[in-house]
Amino acid sequence: MSEVLNIAVFASGRGSNFEAILRAIETGKLHDVSIAAVISNNSEAPVLTIAREHSIPTYHLSQKQFPSEEKFDDAVLGVLRRHGANFIVLAGYMKRLSTNLVRQFRNRTLNIHPALLPKFGGKGMYGIHVHEAVINSGEKVSGVTVHIVDEEYDHGPIVRQRTVAVDKEETPDTLAMRIHGIEHQLYPEVLQLFADDRVRVNEGRVTIMENGAGG
Ligand code: GRF
């Protein structure tokens, strides 16, 4: 039986991916998915304003507010429990989740990355730096990766990737813009796969079941 994915979105910045997911739910394109809450480590993050405008519960939770990682995790888990969240979506979240959180939401936490992992991921590879690195290394193709979060940064099993050709005249800004556009389509699509119970993870490999095979 499929269950509704009640997602907690973790985000640190603009929140355009969050907004794309929200829009997909509101227009009925993405179904059996609801947004439990938005958690940000950054109290000024525009994503929090967008969420409030849509009456979605928001929380500013930063490791700095807590004496230890355990206490921070307790606060995060408290929010997730309070809102019945059963799935975590990282959408531009600039912090690493603790091992404890990763374990508690094993195979139920996603991240989106603006390049074709395993290339151009890891430390320092965020925002415009990713696109600069792609262009500087002469890559002809970049893209978007949605992957399951594991204990390592930008590392877990890949669920879906979509490619984008890198044009001759490409700048980091133009590439970033086009990649963002792809992200906004891909993230809701992948969430639908989970909501339809079509994703299986076995020994670090993802299999997408045929439509109707879930449950
Ligand atoms: C996206 O490019 C995503 O791939 C990366 O962070 C960015 C977040 O953008 N993880 P936004 O805040 O959703 O606009």
Domain CATH code at residue 56:
3.40.50.170
Q: Which two tokens stand for residue 94?
A: 């600039």
Q: Is residue 190 part of a domain?
A: yes
Establish if 214 belongs to a structural domain.
no
Is 105 within 8 Å of 85 (Cβ atoms)? no
- What's the number of domains the chain is made of? 1
Confidence category of residue 3, pLDDT binned at 50, 70, 90: confident
Asked if residue 213 is part of any domain, the answer here is: no
Other beta carbons less than 10 A from residue 79's beta carbon? 18
Residue carrying structure tokens 């020994």 = 203
Mean pLDDT of 80-92: 98
Domain that holds residue 141: 5-208
Give me the mean pLDDT over the 136-159 stretch. Answer: 96
Residue 215 lies in a domain: no
Could you identify the atom of ligand 1 that is nearest to the CA of residue 15?
Answer: 12
212 pLDDT tier (thresholds 50, 70, 90): low
pLDDT at 172: 98
DSSP 161: E
Question: What is the structure's pLDDT at 211?
Answer: 80
Q: Does residue 40 carry a pLDDT above 80? A: yes
CB within 6 Å of ligand 1 — which residues? Answer: 11, 13-17, 91-92, 112-114, 180, 183
The CA 64 to ligand 1 mean position distance, Å, reads 23
What mean pLDDT comes out for the span 74-93? 98
Atom 4, ligand 1: residue with shortest CA distance? 113
- Band the pLDDT of 2: cuts 50, 70, 90: low
For the chain, give the percent of residues with pLDDT over 90: 94
Question: Could you tell me the pTM of the whole model?
Answer: 0.96
Domain annotation covers residue 61: yes
Look at residues 67, 11, 70, 16 and name the one whose alpha carbon lies nearest to residue 41: 11
CA-closest residue to ligand 1 atom 5: 92
Within-domain flag for 53: yes
